[in-house]
Structure 1
Amino acid sequence: MSLSYVLQLGVHYKLQEIGGSKMEFALKKEKTSLKVVFISYYFLIFFGIGGLFPLLSVYLSDVVKLSGTQVGIIMSISPVVMIFAQPLWGIISDYTQQPRLVLTITLLCTGIAGFLFSLTTDYYVFVLLSALLAFFQSSLIPISDSITLNYVQKVHGDYGSIRLWGAIGFAISVLTVGRLAEVFGLHVIFYVFAIILVLASYLARYLPKESQTMQVRLRDGVSQLVKMPKFVLFLVITFLIFGPIYANNFYFGLYITDIGGTLTGVGLAFLFAAGSEAPFMKVAKAWISRFGMLHILLLSAFISGVRWLFYFMEPPLGAVYATTVAQGFSVGLFIPAALQYVRDLAPVHVRVTAVSIYAAVGNGLGSWFCTFFGGLILETYTTSTVYGFFGLLTFLGCALTLLLRNIEQKERS
């Protein structure tokens, strides 16, 4: 082999190395840019949600002067609409094969629907607008998560590190928008919501085009799942425990103002509550491995029930703020443990169906039931009585969780 050939070969490989380094740098730069887009997008989405929904019940009650039953009906529309609308948006996204375009359009429509709330004081118009808002909003998180999961799987990224910015956006929003509402009036929550959703729709155009859709075969899976006693029992547990957790988002702001808190105080309380979830989600996997899923579920549900009954006793405002960190247990631990339990319990070929049913029962039916009947209770009694109702439901869920644990222990023995 001649010296000149060796030198040429060395130059060739060096150029390849330089070219490879440039390509690698470009890929890293693109990956970083996309991650910034994802982080900013999730921050905006949850900033908008956090600025509207915790204060919406306060607006309807204090500004529009609707009754407790009317507030409960309006706030309970969203979870019912979402049960039917989420699968529909999934079908549209799959059929068009353009999830990014669908997301951009629904973000704009969601922002417009939220803005329209500021133009009326009529109860029946609020009912229609709530259904319209829920219809478009129900597409946002599922399609966003689908695009994000597909992306992180391709680049071997971390979904949690992106989704975490949604929790941060929510926590900052409830404090910031609460302060703005205190200065400029509660109407500002609709303006902020609309502006933020329009900005998010602009960012959505820069998300990756690809999406990953999980096909849900309800017809094939439901008949098999309903024949599993433990799965059915866990659905009831989810209904009883998750229902109050989600309904709390609608009534907590009203509770804070009823016991003497300000709108800024509402934002501060939600900031503590939402901010406490991330640390517990970070340790959830290790705790589940060490103590077992059902023990973690029982612990988180018990702490949640204690929190609701504590609010029923109308403690001082400072004590309410201090106990908002209990949400880290009830949400940060319960959600990962419950999701893993459902996936482990269901046969492999119907896991997606099982998760879909679990989400519909907890996020949809449970949230609707507690929000609607919470409004009926509020009509006659007070917000503290609503939390007494939440506490009773949650402790009933704890009792059924103990029953489920005993069933599993007998099966193992």
Structure 2
Amino acid sequence: MKVEKTYRFIQAFYFFSFFGFGALFPLLSVFLEEEKGLSHTQIGMVIAALPIITIFIQPLWGMLSDYTRRPRILLMVAASSASLLGLFYPALQLFPVLLAGIAIIAIFQAGIVPLSDSLSLSFSQSHRKQYGNIRLWGAVGFAIAVFIVGRVTEETGSLSWIFYFFSIGLLFSLITLFQFPKRADEVTVSFRTGLTTLLQQKPFLLFLVSNFLVFGPILANNYYFGTFILTVGGTLSGVGLAFLLAAGSEAPFMKISQLIIDRLGVITVVITGSAVSAGRWLLYYFDPSTTVVYLTTIAQGLSVGLYIPAALILVRELAPKEVRATAVGLYSAVGNGIGNAFFTFMGGFLIDVWNVNGMYGFFSIMSMIGIVLVLVVQRWTKPEVKELIS
């Protein structure tokens, strides 16, 4: 009974924390443009600060966790600090101050996902629970938040609500942490040793590049999809509906992801998810109607809902057992950090010099290159590993 209770509280944490993320990130670019008057290049710089800070700060949160052996306490600090800082952000003015403000929020927000993933992965493996059944509640929370906040901002005429709901979501997530496991798995090798070992694994490194090219555009889309919806004639409520369909469709696919992976193989699922993303971005390049855009949002379930769990499994299989924790951390830094930052900045730049459709054309080409690299990974893997991932 205690295990089941903890399991439900972990699911609730993902719901509320991703509710906060869903309230903020999809409409952040619209907020910076309409309420703060920034150019798209400036918007790209502000938004890119989130993943750039993540690259450098996430390892520090990890080292603090390893040193203190108190990841749950650190998670409380990260969530409460980000929640409090979010309340003050709408009052900021001028580009340099807005950039600095989002960077400070990112310092604490960057610790939430890796610390919670470390605890939840450790718990799910120890008690034979599926991580996908935990992570899907994040997709549900994200989807519901965008839908609600889209309606609220349109009714009130104020986009500042995105920060208030962000803070509320993280505040509620704090309540669930009291039932979280106190510790994650012990670290068996140092980060430097693990990194040295992984740099010798060519298939693993090549998949990191693929993940950079495929997952970077997926994350950048979270920031610019609202702008795209408004460009094709949608409304703020329409943005909420689109994200409800997109993020909400991830949950059922995450629920059955392990069954599909077991049936088709990890590599096939990774390629399928990547191909759906590439096709979706290519469609957006050709300026589809609002109706078509809404209909294609559910493709995100097939792409993201299957790609995330399959990619995580592939990373673990490509890395030697003794450095898997380091491998997951490096994978997160490259995709969620470097890839997110690069494509977010490039997205804002391309919207300014070209248009939002051109940005999606660029995303599609990069994703296609990422698919080719996965095929090379499959060819380069050792026979015993290939048997596990094919």
Match of 1:69 among 41, 62, 65: 41
Does structure 1 retain, via aligned residues, the 8 Å contact 2:133–2:254?
A: no
Tell me the equivalent position of 1:346. Answer: 319
Tell me the equivalent position of 2:204. Answer: 231
Verify: 1:189 aligned to 2:162, yes or no. Answer: yes
Equivalent residue of 2:47, what SS?
helix
The verdict on how the C-alpha distance between 1:363 and 1:286 changes in structure 2, with shifts beyond 3 A counting, is same
Match of 2:342 among 358, 365, 369: 369
Please tell me the root mean square deviation across aligned C-alpha atoms, in Å: 2.4
Of 285-294 and 328-337, more deviation after overlay is shown by: 285-294
Tell me the equivalent position of 2:150. Answer: 178
Q: Which amino acid aligns with 2:355?
A: T
Does structure 1 retain, via aligned residues, the 8 Å contact 2:136–2:250?
A: no
Instruction: Encode CA deviations 1:152-180: one digit per residue, 9 max, x unaligned.
Output: 45555454433332221111111011101
Verify: 1:50 aligned to 2:19, yes or no. Answer: no
Task: Please give the TM-score of this superposition, normalised by the length of structure 2.
Answer: 0.91
Superposed counterparts of 1:85-96, under 5 Å: 85-96=57-68
Match of 1:265 among 222, 235, 238: 238
Tell me the equivalent position of 1:313. Answer: 286
CA distance in 2, matches of 1:125, 1:43: 31
Instruction: Encode CA deviations 1:212-256: one digit per residue, 9 max, x unaligned.
Output: 454663321333322333222212111111111111111111111
The verdict on how the C-alpha distance between 1:174 and 1:346 changes in structure 2, with shifts beyond 3 A counting, is same
> Shift of residue 189 of structure 1?
1.2
The verdict on how the C-alpha distance between 1:241 and 1:111 changes in structure 2, with shifts beyond 3 A counting, is same
Of 187-196 and 36-45, more deviation after overlay is shown by: 36-45
CA distance in 2, matches of 1:409, 1:212: 28
Verify: 1:391 aligned to 2:337, yes or no. Answer: no
Equivalent residue of 2:252, what SS?
helix
CA distance in 1, matches of 2:175, 2:383: 55
Verify: 1:127 aligned to 2:99, yes or no. Answer: yes
Match of 2:375 among 388, 391, 402: 402
Equivalent residue of 2:287, what SS?
coil
CA distance in 1, matches of 2:264, 2:124: 29
The verdict on how the C-alpha distance between 1:274 and 1:88 changes in structure 2, with shifts beyond 3 A counting, is same
Tell me the equivalent position of 1:25. Answer: none
List alignment gaps of at least 5 residues for structure 1.
Answer: 1-27
CA distance in 2, matches of 1:154, 1:346: 20
Aligned length: 385
Does structure 1 retain, via aligned residues, the 8 Å contact 2:24–2:162?
A: yes
Of 95-104 and 365-374, more deviation after overlay is shown by: 95-104
The verdict on how the C-alpha distance between 1:201 and 1:410 changes in structure 2, with shifts beyond 3 A counting, is closer
Of 345-354 and 382-391, more deviation after overlay is shown by: 345-354
List alignment gaps of at least 5 residues for structure 2.
Answer: none
The verdict on how the C-alpha distance between 1:159 and 1:222 changes in structure 2, with shifts beyond 3 A counting, is closer
Q: Which amino acid aligns with 2:168?
A: I
CA distance in 1, matches of 2:369, 2:99: 32
Specify the structure having the higher radius of gyration (Cα): 1
CA distance in 2, matches of 1:294, 1:355: 17
Superposed counterparts of 1:205-216, under 5 Å: 205-214=178-187
Tell me the equivalent position of 1:301. Answer: 274
